[in-house]
Every structure is written in C-alpha cells, then in structure tokens.
Amino acid sequence: MPVTGKPTYLDFDNQKYPWKKNINYRNNLEKYRVGKGEQGVLICEPYKSEIGQFWRFRTPELAKDSSEKIFKMFLNYIQENDFVGADVARKYLQMGYTRARRYANYKGGKKYDKNKDYTPLERGTGSAEKAKSAAIFYATYKLAEAHPIYKSMKVVWKKRLG
C-alpha cells in the first residue's frame, strides 16, 4: 500500500514527547522510557554525546568500525549495569540500520518531496553501498537486541518504569 500524506514528524508535539533535552539521564535514570524503536536516541544525554560521536554509515568500512565500537559500548554499559546506556547504544545500532537503509532506498535519503505536498519519492534510487552499511548495522543491532542480559534488564525496566 503506498504511503500518502505528509510525514508524521511535521506535526511533532514536543510537549508530549517523553524525552527532554535538559535532563541528564545518567543522573535521572527514572525519567528514561524505553519507547518504540529509536525514540529518544538523539536527546538522551550524556549517552547521545558518548555514543553519537562514533555513529557512521557512509561506507561499509565506516559502518563496520562504527557498529563494532557502539556494540562494545553496549557491552560495557551492560557490564556496568547501566540499562539506559545499553538501550541508547542499541538504539544507535538500530538507527544505523534504518538510516543507511533509507539512503539505500532513496537517493540522498529523501523519502518525500516537500515541494509536491510531501508525496513519496521513487524507491530504488539509492546507493548499493548504503545497503551494505545497513546490513552491517542490522546484524549488530540484532546481536544487541538478542543479548540475554539486555533482554532481562529491558523486561525489568519496562515493568518498573515504562
């Protein structure tokens, strides 16, 4: 079924969004929510600054280095019993996959034509190199998501705080 209408991010309601830029989530763990997918990943400090500096997917080589570094950070957060850090690292891995996939599907990563009432652009015009980057991130994201300690931490966190 074709996508119609404008993208949902155009009607984004900052007030209702549970993640806030002015919160240090390491010092205020109780304010962190898991949410869906990658939500909050670009807001949750200090994790955004710690992890985001290594997030790259332009080439498969960069994606490999990036995903390995972020996965190592993910494991370190688990070892430190820091669920929030582990979850944000997992989200960066997921976002590496989804963003690289967007560039693999659409030239320039643009999905909508804002000059034509946000009609979807043609798929299949993107980069094969980004598809390789996406595959690298996807494999690492799935590794993180399946990690048994992370999975149990996530269940406990969601029951306790959401």
- Here the tokens at position 37 are 């997918």
Q: Rounded mean pLDDT of the chain? A: 90
pLDDT average, residue stretch 90-95? 98
Choice among 59-63, 75-79, 121-125 with the minimum mean pLDDT: 121-125
- Residues 35 and 43: their CA atoms lie apart, in Å, by 13
Residue 114: the pLDDT is 80
Residue count of the chain, please give it: 162
pTM over 0.85? The answer is yes
Judge whether residue 91 has pLDDT over 90.
yes
Quick: pLDDT tens for 2-49. 555 666 666 767 777 778 889 999 999 999 999 888 998 999 999 999
Percentage of the chain modeled with pLDDT above 70: 93
- Residues 102 and 66: their CA atoms lie apart, in Å, by 18
Choice among 106-110, 125-129, 131-135, 144-148 with the minimum mean pLDDT: 106-110
Residue 1: the pLDDT is 42
Residue 135: the pLDDT is 98
Which residue would you say has higher pLDDT here, 64 or 125?
Answer: 64
Quick: pLDDT tens for 108-127. 777 777 887 777 777 777 78
- Residues 54 and 67: their CA atoms lie apart, in Å, by 8
- Residues 39 and 113: their CA atoms lie apart, in Å, by 24
Longest dimension (CA), the chain: 49
Sign of CA dihedral 77, 62, 101, 146: negative
